[in-house]
A and B are shown apart, each in its own frame.
Chain A
């Protein structure tokens, strides 16, 4: 008897048996790679099928599993929201596992990959369990499994200081977030069944919690803070550009593509499902934080020279865009406009899915580049399009998608988001009527800067000429990696061309939470036309854009090639200088200079120019050395004081340690006396 439940449990069993399997196979690393990753991809595929199934039929079922502590069994619940995220995690888990076969193979002979295999499958299993959990206990255990496994994955190449530093930072921020989530669940459980009993720990009980005034806001913002730390919302984003670049690229793809999304899942679950009744200003706060993340995230991304760091900052931007959708949906919902709320929520969820696909693709592409060139710094790359034709074409698709350009998928979700923004004059509040369009303008700025950012990323990495030293051994990656990237690229195109089918499929989520439906209006004119609210309001047709473009391009090509013209190849035009070298190309730093100058306030920029002179005269320059350090200001503003304070405290308390047994005995004695006095 196959049901979504059996599929997903089978999938989890496979993940846990893979852990044991990898321990058994640790002697034969090649066998390990060829058995573990196919198995995890199969298990993810099962979860993917289960997820599609659940959302398609709008199934809501729950089970109690007799595991965990004696009186606190685990609760599991399948509903459309968890189905959606199962689909998302399953899809990217499946694709990245295929890619991993090729990627992890390269480690064989250099370092053992047993730990990578073990934590990889635990990591995936943890994410699946998070979206299944229906009680706070199981949720937090799964959350920690996920966090701990990803910590070890970031630590995989632990001989480098930066990896250890990044992993530690990640662990600290993840746990500060986890504490906030724990407190929030505690409050909800307390207001559900009283603070004395334990029965409130299930989500079902929390749904019936009644909050005293103001406590609902405390609960919500604790949870939001906790999930925002995981999602990398500014200013809690500092771990992200440290951890993503140093993790193995398949893991970065998973972390950025789907782990951040579990936090989005958490926010939606807590807001729309557990608390449900919220004032409009919560939505406004979420939206403002989303806008700040989107704009600053992409500005920081533009300043990066490290390809993976750039992608990590761009994840901050995309999480911001998703949060804007969620915040807008909350605002609309609190004013009781279900259809608009459904539109904004759908836009946010659509972007969640899209981001998983194109960011997965881009991180896999960055991994392919890293694999081939052993280089992460874009300033040392260039011209890879000639050496890696597949990777570059697929990476280009990712770049177009993430820049929100038609007919690919990023455009559809941002377009839906803009439509939701443009409908805000329907709200009864004049203040919001004025302010929400400003948000749309900021979002447009972020989207346009994203296009600039990815022109830079693709242009500097793949186009032009090779800037580095040795490049004879650069080669295209193997078929597993190409297939992995290819599948996400196809997904990006399909999600851009068939949005109506996707919206129809996921409509049940918004219908369940905010009571509005889009499928009637969105697909009213067939699958070709996307008309989110009505035909008169706005419409877009991905298939026609694609077909029209292909038609015109093909026609122009055929007409012009009817008379064959010869193409001469010649050296590039050097203005008569004759000594043009690849090092004279525009660099990534130069490319982003205008933005650095225009938006300079947001960065901490340290620019130094040193020149050596001949004959000690400034007219005769022998050499110039230019250094530029750009950092985001949040580290200095928020984190450095905390770091300094904790070092200060530990230095002060360190003075207590005298290293003499007599002193320590006095400490114990004094403590006992003090306790006896206080706790008589």
Chain B
């Protein structure tokens, strides 16, 4: 009984970390970016201040906004937190971790995207529709690559359940598997597309013709916008921890081992710091590409994942 109780406590701890750490992670990425580009920073806690400001503001809603528009921020937030509760971040054994395997997690992200795209079309401005159309196009091209990457990773662990994957890799010998290296490369490409980072989308832009994600949420304000922004921050964090759980799980706590939890938190923090550095290196090194170059970008992600699969069959 006490073991079950402690695992539920762990679940709550993980959600709290998700809610708290996601803004800091974004803050860290932005700070790093400022350093790289020689600008002064606003500090890694600026996203908190932004969120608090938005939560205190009133909402201005377009006259013809329907209930879809009003419910979407809550749904996006709900789906993102739910995913955060499912991905094994601190321990391989969480009560909710078998709620969904990787494929289902990807579909949960797809569900929140579905509603974002609908909300973009709800007001009836050209920007919203443009954003929805582009977002859905990119998402549909990313999907096959994502499935291929999942497939390649699941070949090694014979499972699509994240706990199982993390366990197998954490316990296996520390060898460089070519299949996993290719899958990781594909996963990074896909994550950049899914989270709307450079080179696919620029999260900082509000330039009419280039924005994708921002175009869909252009009409939001107040707490609605705060929820969406927060969920966006969590999404980046979640893709980072998804990659960590699938490719670098070392340091994650074993089932029922509560003493390892503080170490797991520490290790996670270090990994996230490094992930932020990697992301900023990519984002500063590349320019945003034209929308119709994105298919090639995602096509190469698919190619890498396929190469990973082939190398598994041939080499391992």
Mask for B56-82, Cβ within 8 A of A = 1, else 0? 011111111111100000110111011
Q: Does any Cβ of A come within 8 Å of B257's Cβ?
A: no
Contact present for A590 and B129 (CB under 8 Å)? yes
Which residues in A have their C-beta under 8 angstroms from that of B104? 406, 411, 415, 540, 545
CB distance from B80 to the nearest CB of A (A): 9
Q: Does any Cβ of B come within 8 Å of A442's Cβ?
A: yes
Which among A434, A545, A548, A591 is the interface contact of B313 at CB below 8 angstroms?
Answer: A434
Q: Does any Cβ of B come within 8 Å of A529's Cβ?
A: yes
Contact present for B121 and A455 (CB under 8 Å)? yes
- Which of A120-128, A177-185, A563-571, A638-646 lies at the interface with chain B? A563-571
Contact present for B159 and A586 (CB under 8 Å)? no
CA distance A411 to B108 in the complex (A): 10
Q: Does any Cβ of A come within 8 Å of B139's Cβ?
A: yes
CA distance A556 to B227 in the complex (A): 9
Contact present for A441 and B124 (CB under 8 Å)? no
CB distance from B124 to the nearest CB of A (A): 3
Q: Does any Cβ of A come within 8 Å of B48's Cβ?
A: no
CB distance from B189 to the nearest CB of A (A): 15
CA distance A463 to B103 in the complex (A): 30
Which residues in B have their C-beta under 8 angstroms from that of A452? 133, 136-137, 139-140
Interface of A, secondary structure class, is helix
The size class of the interface chain B forms with chain A is: 35 or more
Contact present for A585 and B126 (CB under 8 Å)? yes
Which residues in A have their C-beta under 8 angstroms from that of B110? 403, 405, 448, 451
Interface of B, secondary structure class, is helix
- Which of A138-146, A203-211, A530-538 lies at the interface with chain B? A530-538
A260-294 contacts to B (CB < 8 Å): none
Which residues in B have their C-beta under 8 angstroms from that of A442? 144
Contact present for A566 and B58 (CB under 8 Å)? yes
Q: Does any Cβ of B come within 8 Å of A541's Cβ?
A: yes
Residue total for A at the interface (Cβ-Cβ under 8 A): 83
Contact present for A451 and B310 (CB under 8 Å)? no
Which among B63, B121, B124, B129 is the interface contact of A570 at CB below 8 angstroms?
Answer: B63
CB distance from B70 to the nearest CB of A (A): 9
Which residues in B have their C-beta under 8 angstroms from that of A585? 124-126, 129
CA distance A437 to B151 in the complex (A): 8
- Which of B31-39, B92-100, B265-273 lies at the interface with chain A? B92-100
CA distance A447 to B123 in the complex (A): 26
Are A594 and B137 CB-contacts (below 8 A) given A448-B143, A463-B118?
yes
CB distance from B177 to the nearest CB of A (A): 15
Contact present for B101 and A538 (CB under 8 Å)? yes
Interface centre among B58, B134, B158, B295 (most CB of A within 10 A): B158
- Which of B195-203, B217-225, B238-246, B247-255 lies at the interface with chain A? B217-225
Contact present for A594 and B98 (CB under 8 Å)? no
Q: Does any Cβ of B come within 8 Å of A172's Cβ?
A: no
Which residues in B have their C-beta under 8 angstroms from that of A566? 58-59
Q: Does any Cβ of B come within 8 Å of A601's Cβ?
A: no
Given contacts A590-B129, A594-B133, 16 further A-B contacts (CB under 8 A): A404-B107, A421-B151, A422-B151, A437-B148, A441-B302, A449-B140, A451-B136, A455-B118, A537-B159, A539-B100, A539-B161, A545-B82, A567-B58, A572-B125, A572-B219, A580-B125
6 closest residue pairs by CB, A with B: A586-B129, A464-B124, A459-B121, A448-B140, A448-B143, A452-B136
